[in-house]
Amino acid sequence: MQIIDSGKYTTAFLKDGFTYKILHEDKKNQLNYTKLEQEYSLLKQLECVDLPIPSEISKIADDQEKICGLKYKYIEGVQFKNFRFSHKQRKKFYESISNFLYKLHKTNYPLIKKKPTNISNDIYKKMLVQNEEKITKKKFIELDAKIDLMSKVKLTDLSLVHGDINDRNIILKNNGEISGVIDWSEHMLSDPAYDLAGVLVYFGEDVLNHILTQNKYSGEMQERINYYASMEFLFHL
């Protein structure tokens, strides 16, 4: 099998026209088994939705019959991080990412059998505590207060969120259009501004502004996007 990508938790292999996404041995635990199960379940449910997602998906089990990976039809294309854009290709990408996020965030979320995620409380708070020794005391206090403040914001526009929009998980065709969006293990029912923060961090302000204009997101979303983008460093400590 040919290795096509390797991350913190999984390595992806290509064989006979299919991608095999396999957990690293040291990442085999109940939390990651659950994430794979939930990713599989979501992608099966989204088969009826017109989104560029992995297809023909199935589970891979280890010798103990624990889910240790996923198999899906290989998505032809180039990761965003390796793509070299012409003006025409960049314009095509702007349109494609805008359409993808619009459809995703409008997906009927009763399909998604998850409780809503408060990103500040459920993600950032835990990560801050886990990384306390890597942050100065002053910075810790500032971030803790910021997280507490944002956790109290009442959201009315919850949607299905990919949860890990970055330059590795977007696969592009030669013309710049999205051919696939991979790695749905962090999906949740939450604030769509979280996905848009990923756009800002990895694709830039021009792409974000195009999406905000095209999709007519609410005006107050910009503050939340900036907040989520400012917290991205927690994932890289």
3-state secondary structure 13-31: EEECCEEEEEECHHHCCHH
Q: What is the pLDDT of residues 154-213, one digit of tens each?
A: 888 899 999 999 999 999 999 999 999 999 999 999 999 999 999 999 999 999 999 999
Query: Which domains occur in the chain, in start order?
Result: 2-73 (3.30.200.20), 78-236 (3.90.1200.10)
Listed residue (80, 48, 106, 84) closest to 164, CA to CA: 80
Report how far Cα 18 is from the mean position of its chain's Cα atoms: 21
Q: What are phi and psi of 186, to 5 degrees?
A: -105, 15
Q: What is the pLDDT of residue 48?
A: 87
Answer for the pair 12, 3: CB distance below 8 angstroms, yes or no: yes
Beta bridge partners of 170: 181
Instruction: Using the predicted structure, report yes or no on whether residue 40 has a pLDDT greater than 80.
Output: yes
Distances, alpha carbon 36 to alpha carbons 39, 81, 88, 186, in Å: 5, 24, 37, 10
Residues 6+ apart with CB under 8 A from 101: 192, 195, 196, 199, 211, 215
Number of Cβ atoms within 10 Å of the Cβ of 224: 20
pLDDT tens digits, one per residue of 104-142 = 999 876 666 678 999 999 999 999 999 999 999 999 999
Model pTM greater than 0.85? yes
**Listed residue (166, 171, 193, 208) closest to 53, CA to CA:** 171
Show the CA angle centred on residue 159, arms to residues 161 and 38, nearest 5°.
Answer: 50
